[in-house]
Chain A
Amino acid sequence: MAISLDAGIPSGSIERKWDDYKFSVKLVNPANKRKFNVIVVGSGLAGASAAATLAELGYRVTMLTFHDSPRRAHSIAAQGGINAAKNYQNDGDSVQRLFYDTVKGGDYRAREANVYRLAQVSVNIIDQCVAQGVPFAREYGGLLDNRSFGGAQVSRTFYARGQTGQQLLLGAYQALARQVRLGNVELHNRTEMLDLVVKDGLACGVVARHLVTGAVRSFSGHAVVLATGGYGNVFFLSTNAKASNVTAAWRAHKRGALMANPCYTQIHPTCIPASDDFQSKLTLMSESLRNDGRIWVPTTPNDVRSPDQIPESERDYYLERRYPAFGNLVPRDVASRAAKREVDSGHGVGPIQNGVYLDFGSAVDRLGREVIEERYGNLFQMYERITGEDPYKKPMRIYPAVHYTMGGLWVDYNLMSNVPGLYVLGEANFSDHGANRLGASALMQGLADGYFVLPATIGAHLAPLLGTEPVPIDDPVFRDAEANVDAQVHRLLSVKGTKTVDHFHRELGKIMWDHCGMARSAESLDEALTSIPALRDEFWSDVRVLGENESFNQSLERAGRVADFLEFGELLVRDARHREESCGGHFRVEHQTEEGEALRNDDDFAYVGAWEWTGEGNTPELHKESLTFDNVALAQRSYK
């Protein structure tokens, strides 16, 4: 298929692009807005903020969430904070600096114009959230407080204890709830999107299954917005919630939407190490801890002494040693690889030597226990519950884990995919973080997309549709999509094999982590390209899904999601195999500097790799959107 990847970036200077664009975009007059129906899938930060804002503007919104309540979306678990270029600390921050830090932090693989816009609207997000009653941390004088995050040398992160994601999501959820009561949003909970419907090249609706009754139903609209999160659970063990999945995005992909940069996965440096085989998920310890905690390992390999028995002189504060300028606050990809290096070389700590220490001893001495407790109390408590160890007395043990995915469905400047009428927001799109996301930037992007970007850009698609009715749900395109969903559900139920869904998910996760995790090689990736299809074949011949469709059947839900991960995982590996360079979260062992840092290849790979589905069993086709850098000079990242 001939696909032109035109990002539609407005002309003009980078500072003026967004303002000029907003002036040039077609508007829909207030009375006409109620004639348009927009379907929003997903109720996290991006989805809830978009649905609420579109409804406030006057559009009719249909919201689908597979959760029992919109408030449960996994944005709720974000801990550390949200960035904004407010410069309230007078430490030299600006829109320009946040833009620069984000492009650099993303290892020069993000689109400049999108990132600049993100930095511009970041300041409006904080204003909006405060107006809604988000209880951000404050100074005694009543002003907002800030802290620092990795990859930045300014304090621009706003936070609400260790529960920033929760408070921001509740703000968006409350705005959404208000619109539900006003009748502007029709809310469908426990409803999972299982197919995208496209007619004459335009996205016109979705097919969804009600998770309690099994009823399959169509929803029709003038536009479809996916805000369905990331795909980190392809690794089985990740910090994502158990239900987070790639299904909505993947099914849209199979209907024509391109999947961009799936190999850009973020491994977060500070998670609690896995302890055993029954482990169901990994738990993040916020990056904010690196403000006050110092990371170290024993200088002697296989040192099994208790940490309090290891004198200062025998501790290696390896981040402070290798990166004196940023120290413990280097970006996530750099910190993760450094931890892996220590553990791989026998310096790991803990019962199975799979962690490094994050030590608050000197911070407690300097600031007192009370201050540390106020800053991180709930995180320390969570750590204690999971490990049974008291981090005030014994350093935390941490190790990297899959946390966030920078790749996602390809979108243009308007956040619209290559399928007209299909918009993709938040973690589900590929847009703003390049090959590595900076801490406290996911919340910023989700809310930027939902509160400020989509509500302004969607008019470009809707205005010309004035006077048209949505495609009726008895149209053959909807009937076909419903039949497709029914067929998939019944195929899963009819295998009647011997192994559980979780078994296959765990096996897939092992392949992904071992062959396409923190370090990837041509050899390991080729191996995965053989073993994933084999596992997928085994899944379809031997999976056991009990029960029936017409009930609350959680195994059936999971089976559909794992089936999609088994296809998507292969594409992720294929993308990693084709990208012959290291950048951000994508580290190919063949491409590193003498010091072991990621080595980019800007001549050949300064592009977005967007993959097109070409049918079952066929090799997907790669399309390229080249990236140009007019405002930030391409450079080898240095945090020394």
Chain B
Amino acid sequence: MDLNLKVWRQAGPDAVGRFEIYPMHDVSEDMSFLELFDVLNEQLETRGEEPVAFDHDCREGICGSCAMMIDGRAHGPERGTATCQLHLRKLTDRETITVEPWRAAGFPIIKDLAVDRSALDRIVEAGGYITAPTGAARDANEILVAKQASDAAMDAAACIGCGACVAACPNGAGQLFTAAKYSHLSLLPQGQPERFTRVVSMVEEMERWFGSCTNHGECEAACPKEISVNFIAMLNRDYVKAQFKNPALSGQRH
């Protein structure tokens, strides 16, 4: 198949960017979207032009490195699919494909299609963990977790931290990422002692970097792991609850 790639080129964080159009001839439908960029970059380098910078690594949809806005949609048109797992057979109806970096104030551009997503690390550092220093754990089967609770935690934990939710959001909000990490930990019995301090610190850190959520739901549609916006509801509920909770009293049952 033949197609045109219209790609955002930007030499550095402060440089002026522009679109370049690259005609691609005779590419196979079985090629993945990143392999298309490999081919493009080989051609550019052979011509003596600098290749397009883009983040990628595992190419199995799990590391969360790849991040391309494809025809205005984070990770492209296929539902539940990261850029690296998108194959050209799903794009045969197009003549020109526009590719841009994640566009969000919280993700400054590094070069071309690569952006800085360190803000996501800062949110985890703020409270996205269970305090359990190595060595102190009791036998694993002493903690019973209902299968349904464990499955729900796993649904949230599947987040790959790619940032598509932020990129898809008209407000550049980080709610789905934050809610996924928060819910994973707070649905489990092990996560209860820190639950309400966790929600406050994670939400406050998130607000330092990202815009506000206005319940568009674009994030869920863009998420390559199809993480549900219901987790945002859980985050919001616990954030409100936390305002009324005194952790010093959390040992009291009634």
Contacts and interface: CB of A to CB of B under 8 A. Distances in A.
A567 interface: no
Nearest to B49: A546
Contact of A77 (B58, B110, B190): B58
Interface in B118-153: 118, 120-121, 124-126, 128-141, 143-147, 150-151, 153
B132 A177 contact: no
Chain B: interface residue count, which band?
Answer: 35 or more
A71 B64 contact: yes
Contact of B190 (A74, A131, A177): A131
A241 B63 contact: yes
B55 A68 contact: yes
- Bin the interface of chain A by size: 35 or more
Given A69-B117, A278-B38, A382 B190 contact: no
Contacts of B139: 127
B145 A72 contact: no
B218 interface: no
B130 A133 contact: yes
B18 interface: no
B230 interface: no
A382 B87 CA distance: 11
A554 B150 contact: no
Contact of A131 (B34, B111, B136): B136
A129 B135 CA distance: 10
Interface stretch (B40-48, B93-101, B164-172, B236-244): B40-48
A144 interface: yes
Given A72-B64, A177-B125, A280-B38, A388 B30 contact: yes
B57 A241 contact: yes
A133 B53 CA distance: 36
A177 B129 contact: yes
Interface stretch (B154-162, B206-214, B245-253): B154-162
Contacts of A382: 60-61, 85
Interface stretch (A159-167, A196-204, A306-314, A613-621): A159-167
A544 B191 CA distance: 52
Contacts of B160: 166
A354 to B, nearest CB: 14
Contacts of B135: 124, 128, 452
Interface string A430-444: 000000000000000
Contacts of A163: 62, 158
B57 A243 contact: yes
B125 A132 contact: no
Contacts of B120: 69
Given A382-B61, A502-B38, A544 B157 contact: no
Interface string A376-390: 000001100110100
B129 A280 contact: no
A135 interface: yes
B126 A181 contact: yes
B31 A278 contact: yes
Contacts of A637: none
Contacts of A72: 57-58, 63-65
Contact of A386 (B80, B87, B114, B136): B87
Interface in A328-347: none
B56 A131 contact: no
B34 A280 contact: yes
Interface string A353-391: 000000000000000000000000000011001101000
B39 interface: yes
A370 B32 CA distance: 29
B81 interface: yes
A280 B80 CA distance: 22
A133 B60 contact: no
A77 B87 contact: no
A278 B129 contact: no
A174 B32 contact: no
Contacts of A132: 129-130, 132, 190
Contact of A385 (B12, B63, B81, B147): B81
Interface string A48-72: 0100110010000000000111111
A279 B118 CA distance: 31
Given A275-B30, A555-B45, A174 B57 contact: no
Given A72-B63, A142-B147, A280 B87 contact: no
B35 interface: yes
With a 10 A CB-CB cut-off, give which of B58, B87, B144, B151 has the most chain A CB atoms: B58
A279 B50 contact: no
Interface of A: 49, 52-53, 56, 67-72, 74, 76-77, 86, 88, 124, 126-133, 135-144, 160-161, 163, 166-167, 170, 173-175, 177-178, 180-181, 187, 189, 212, 241-243, 275-276, 278-281, 283-284, 381-382, 385-386, 388, 451-452, 455, 498, 500, 502-503, 544, 546-547, 551-552, 554-555
8 contacts: A69-B120, A129-B140, A133-B185, A276-B30, A381-B80, A385-B78, A551-B12, A552-B12
Closest 10 CB pairs of A and B: A142-B144, A174-B129, A131-B137, A127-B137, A131-B132, A181-B125, A130-B140, A135-B154, A241-B57, A177-B125
Given A242-B57, A554-B51, 17 more contacts: A68-B55, A71-B161, A72-B58, A88-B141, A128-B134, A135-B157, A166-B160, A175-B134, A177-B128, A180-B121, A241-B59, A276-B31, A278-B38, A385-B87, A500-B45, A546-B45, A546-B49
